Chain A
Amino acid sequence: AQSVTQLDSQVPVFEEAPVELRCNYSSSVSVYLFWYVQYPNQGLQLLLKYLSGSTLVKGINGFEAEFNKSQTSFHLRKPSVHISDTAEYFCAVSLTQGAQKLVFGQGTRLTINP
């Protein structure tokens, strides 16, 4: 079975500061990795995904993530955040075969302060 751990439940950051949201996963087989963002009272929007190839993945809204197989991590970063980045962020994994049964972490609430 797969599992995902997001190490921080809340991350407060000042506007224009860099941010890193941490994600570790556990799986005995290869997985795909994802980061989703959820704005208040909305559904999830895909930020970026790692399927294969380059370990540095660039996504929307200036976010990027790096896949580290040895540390089983997939941390999300942004060099300079905006107020509009305030949201809940979810890391997720799925098997590389079959249906997309995503396994989500508990979420990290990112709060941007002016």
Chain B
Amino acid sequence: NAGVMQNPRHLVRRRGQEARLRCSPMKGHSHVYWYRQLPEEGLKFMVYLQKENIIDESGMPKERFSAEFPKEGPSILRIQQVVRGDSAAYFCASSRELTSPLHFGNGTRLTVT
């Protein structure tokens, strides 16, 4: 049973470009979370999704950031018009049930030049 798969592992974008980060949860997991880790900081919650629904996006910046978890395919975190401050590691986690343990992916490290 493969773990949480995130791709790409590393992503370099110039200021103003779009970044698309993908997350395939573990098999049988329908709850997906996105966290962001800025340099020298802990992880910060961004958004929680269940299949086709955004349940809680209280940690998402109000502009340029969006997330989806379609019925088929991976969850996508999309950042439009990236800025240098978006450089961070973005981690996805999934769980089978609401209170089941979270399993984290290895993250996508976004660098904005």
Residues of chain A having any CB pair with chain B under 8 Å:
4, 36, 41-46, 49, 90, 92, 98-107
Number of inter-chain CB pairs below 8 Å: 57
Query: B33 contacts the other chain (Cβ, under 8 Å)?
Result: yes
Query: B99 contacts the other chain (Cβ, under 8 Å)?
Result: yes
**B93 contacts which chain A residues (CB < 8 A)?**
43-44
Whether the pair A104, B42 counts as a contact (CB closer than 8 A) is: yes
Query: B55 contacts the other chain (Cβ, under 8 Å)?
Result: yes
Query: B73 contacts the other chain (Cβ, under 8 Å)?
Result: no
Residue of A nearest to B105 (CB): A43
- A104-B113 Cα distance, complex, nearest whole Å: 28
Query: B76 contacts the other chain (Cβ, under 8 Å)?
Result: no
Whether the pair A43, B91 counts as a contact (CB closer than 8 A) is: yes
Residues of chain B having any CB pair with chain A under 8 Å:
4, 6, 31, 33, 35, 40-45, 48, 55-56, 58-59, 91, 93, 95, 98-99, 101-102, 104-107
- A49-B31 Cα distance, complex, nearest whole Å: 20
- A90-B102 Cα distance, complex, nearest whole Å: 14
- A55-B4 Cα distance, complex, nearest whole Å: 31
**A41 contacts which chain B residues (CB < 8 A)?**
106
Residue of A nearest to B42 (CB): A104
- A106-B43 Cα distance, complex, nearest whole Å: 8
Whether the pair B33, A43 counts as a contact (CB closer than 8 A) is: no
For A44, give its contact among B55, B91, B95 (CB under 8 Å).
B91
Whether the pair B43, A99 counts as a contact (CB closer than 8 A) is: no
